[in-house]
Amino acid sequence: MKRTIAIACAAFLCAAGAAFAEIPADRVTGIWLVQSKDGKFHITRCGQSLCGKLIDGSKISMLDQKNKDPDLRVRPLKGLLMMHSYKLSKDRARWVDGQIYNPEDGNSYRSILEPGPDDTLKVKGCLGPFCQTQTWTRVAP
């Protein structure tokens, strides 16, 4: 009997741990309006990490003209995977070690995603120790 209770408790804790691990992804995945309000990103799960594509905005008809690779300068920005490789932090409070592409300068930056209050998302792009943070607003889950 004690063994059955112990197994049931262990199963419950595993399920609860898995559910807890899902909470940060649920708070980050969805469609987000960028701080400047001229673009929307769709952030989704990509295997064990998160990634994001530009899906709407004023630059949607533009090409990736500032890309460092001349062959990629003709690709459209719409649907372009601009965010990738985010991993859940050890404290499960944010997604870290990601990369975010900035088509305005053709560079990729180390990035962190952190859910904020009231359906906001803090999107941080970093070059070395220097970081810039934007606050995005959820448009749809």
Which CATH architecture group holds 2-140?
Beta Barrel (2.40)
Residue 16 has what pLDDT?
40
User: What pTM value is reported for the model?
Assistant: 0.80
Cα gap 61→18, rounded to integer Å: 40
**Residue partners of 130: CB distance under 8 A and separation at least 6:** none
Residue 23 has what pLDDT?
53
Select from 140, 128, 132, 103 the least CA-distant residue to 35: 132
Q: What is the pLDDT of residues 71-106, one digit of tens each?
A: 999 999 999 999 999 999 999 999 999 999 999 999
* Backbone conformation region of residue 42, classed left if phi is above 0, alpha if psi is from -120 to 50, else beta: beta
Tokens read off for 40: 């929307």
pLDDT in tens, the chain (141 residues): 445 444 444 444 344 444 444 556 889 999 999 999 999 999 999 999 999 999 998 877 899 999 999 999 999 999 999 999 999 999 999 999 999 999 999 999 999 999 999 999 999 999 999 999 999 999 998
